[in-house]
Structure 1
Amino acid sequence: MPSFVFLQMAVSLTKVELVMLGMMLCGYYSPGPAFGRSARKGNLDTPLRDLHAPMVRSAQAFELEPLCTESILKTFLEGHPGVRGLKAAKAALPWVRNTSASHMETALYLLLCLPVHMGGYGLPKPYLNPLVRIEQASGDITCYPDLYWPGSSIDVEYNSDWAHCGVSAHYLDSRRLTAIVCNDIDYLSISTGQLKNAQDMDNAARGLARKLKHRIRYTDEEWQRKRTRLRGVVLPPVDL
């Protein structure tokens, strides 16, 4: 049961790691089939408490049905008072969002929206991949913005090298971008390179904050150290 796994792992994982696990359980992706398994025996050969780092670094499977939702996790936790790990699970749950499409979308969301004391920028939480209908002269089209703030009409897209390569993908992205911009939705694109470069990410976060009319409250070196630690947890060393 995914909810039980979330609660069980609250004992072993840090808060950020547990949020990432929750995002995966409620998202459209998972580690690939070889994750955590012995090539010789085909069984799990890594203790559960040590699986986070390999999970971040593993190949992934995409476009899967979510195993869980925020509300299911919440209901499960409320139904198990006094269980070991409950306090940590409840502390992580408010940052879990439904329907992330990839680990890197999750990383982008966490870097932007986790609170300053955790190394994030503290931006308002968006919806991830919600259904948005956009009007066109030829008929409405359906889009699923990666990170979407409906109140401010802002769409932030993670443009991975893998998902957006090729002529066909470029054409579809261009057509969607035209429809989005022509319907007064602000569009910001974050590439893999930007996400992995702390200064580029800082510039993007500041620009997004201005669009959201949100003040980023940090300046000191302590926050920068926390940001570095957070980036080390959420970002893999390979492009996804």
Structure 2
Amino acid sequence: MSKLLLFGSSALIYYDHCRSLPRVSVSGPDLAAADFAPTAAMVRYALRAVPSLAVPLHVSVFAEHERRQKVARCHVAPTSVRDASFGRVAEGLFVPSPGLALAQYGRGRTLPDMVLRGMALCSCYALDEQDCLVERIPLTDPSALERATRLHRDVPGCRLAREALPWMVSGAASPREAALAAILALPPRYGGYGFPKPKLNARIDLPRKAQGLADTAYYVADFLWEEQRVVLEYDSDAFHLTSERHHHDTVRRGVLESLGYRVIGVTRMQLNVRGEMDKVAVVLSRALKRPLRIRAQRFRSQQAELWRIAGLGASSQWQ
């Protein structure tokens, strides 16, 4: 039986849908003698084993003679990939580490795209078979991605992956949270607002006096700038609040503000409309005491491109 090693975009699709890393790890030297030339039967097997995969399948091969472009998109592995370890997804089907998959994906991409793909790997969500969001522990973190860029310098997309690292944030609970984090942190030359990176889904411990009013020992802030004591909350259902939820949010805001935090809300509608997000950015810049410096000549076109890459807009399926 031949074997398949997923590459780049195909590997990232697998990671989008998995809730944990593969349990079994196999080293490249142990696989070196295997036949990785893709066959039609093996591609059909991979698509059955991982239904989320899309065609054409992107795979790594270890020799030029193993390339079969009509069956799958084949990429000849450089030296560092041959020495790496791979996770076993199913019998005969393997996947590179998240960091290597991201580096492979980087060839021909843009930096905002790489930031969003990296943040997806570092997120607290995955997609189930119906592409609905489910919780998971992050598969990796920016420091591990940085180590991968040092190990795989000979991978063509590695340089862009390394350049994207400064704007990646861990812990997003949804694609829209990741998109909002990227929009806030990326510099204006990429269509963002250039704010300092926030912490996502960060715990704020409450003093004993506040716990009675809040009926909890801590809150979790969607976005937190700890030094400036600024909290930004993303509310995907601002127009569908129950009275109980409205009461909870009012108490939450009051408790946080009594502790010296500035609380700013962002609704789904605001995030969908660039002009509305510009207004949010002005409010946030004042709260952070960080003036907006949007001097990029092509900011509006870059902003529109960033929104497109992030999948934002009124028709977006993510809440």
TM surpasses 0.5: yes
Alignment of 1:144-155 (within 5 A): 144-155=220-231
Contact 2:229 2:262 in 1 (8 A): yes
Contact 2:188 2:295 in 1 (8 A): no
Q: What residue in structure 1 maps to residue 235 of structure 2?
A: 159
1:120-157 deviations in whole A, cap 9, x for unaligned? 11111111112221224164721221111111100001
1:177 and 2:249 aligned:
no
1:105 and 2:177 aligned:
yes
Deviation at 1:167, TM superposition (A): 4.9
Contact 1:156 1:187 in 2 (8 A): yes
Describe the SS at the equivalent of 2:205: strand
Instruction: Give the letter aligned to residue 25 of structure 1.
Output: L
Would the alpha carbon gap of residues 216 and 98 (structure 1) be closer, same or farther in structure 2, given more than 3 Å must change? same
Deviation at 1:190, TM superposition (A): 0.2
Alignment of 1:131-150 (within 5 A): 131-137=203-209, 139=211, 141-150=217-226
Q: What residue in structure 2 maps to residue 201 of structure 1?
A: 277
CA distance in structure 2 between the partners assigned to 1:169 and 1:235 by the alignment: 28
Q: What residue in structure 2 maps to residue 71 of structure 1?
A: 143
CA distance in structure 2 between the partners assigned to 1:138 and 1:124 by the alignment: 29
CA distance in structure 2 between the partners assigned to 1:71 and 1:219 by the alignment: 31
Q: What residue in structure 1 maps to residue 308 of structure 2?
A: 232
1:114 and 2:152 aligned:
no
Describe the SS at the equivalent of 2:257: helix
Structure 2 stretches lacking a partner, 5+ long: 1-96
Contact 1:130 1:148 in 2 (8 A): yes
Name which of 98, 121, 128 aligns with 1:32.
128
Name which of 159, 164, 172 aligns with 1:87.
159
CA distance in structure 2 between the partners assigned to 1:176 and 1:188 by the alignment: 12
Would the alpha carbon gap of residues 138 and 92 (structure 1) be closer, same or farther in structure 2, given more than 3 Å must change? closer
1:80-134 deviations in whole A, cap 9, x for unaligned? 2322211111011111111111111111111122101001111111111122212
Would the alpha carbon gap of residues 171 and 32 (structure 1) be closer, same or farther in structure 2, given more than 3 Å must change? farther
Q: Taking every aligned residue pair, what percent have the same amino acid on both sides?
A: 28
Q: What residue in structure 2 maps to residue 46 of structure 1?
A: none
CA distance in structure 1 between the partners assigned to 2:135 and 2:252 by the alignment: 19
CA distance in structure 2 between the partners assigned to 1:158 and 1:33 by the alignment: 26
Larger Rg, first or second structure (1 or 2) = 2
CA distance in structure 1 between the partners assigned to 2:171 and 2:160 by the alignment: 22
Deviation at 1:32, TM superposition (A): 3.4
Instruction: Give the letter aligned to residue 202 of structure 1.
Output: D
Would the alpha carbon gap of residues 13 and 171 (structure 1) be closer, same or farther in structure 2, given more than 3 Å must change? farther
Higher mean alpha-carbon deviation, 84-93 vs 217-226, is at: 217-226
Deviation at 1:197, TM superposition (A): 1.6
Alignment of 1:2-13 (within 5 A): 2-13=98-109
Aligned residues: 216
Describe the SS at the equivalent of 1:144: strand
Contact 2:169 2:199 in 1 (8 A): yes
Deviation at 1:196, TM superposition (A): 0.9
Contact 2:201 2:220 in 1 (8 A): yes
Instruction: Give the letter aligned to residue 198 of structure 1.
Output: R
Structure 1 stretches lacking a partner, 5+ long: 35-58
CA distance in structure 2 between the partners assigned to 1:60 and 1:19 by the alignment: 22
1:21-42 deviations in whole A, cap 9, x for unaligned? 11111011123324xxxxxxxx
Instruction: Give the letter aligned to residue 105 of structure 2.
Output: M
Q: Alignment RMSD, CA only?
A: 2.3
1:160-199 deviations in whole A, cap 9, x for unaligned? 129x844554444333222211111000000001111222
CA distance in structure 1 between the partners assigned to 2:203 and 2:123 by the alignment: 15
Would the alpha carbon gap of residues 169 and 2 (structure 1) be closer, same or farther in structure 2, given more than 3 Å must change? farther
TM-score by length of 1: 0.81
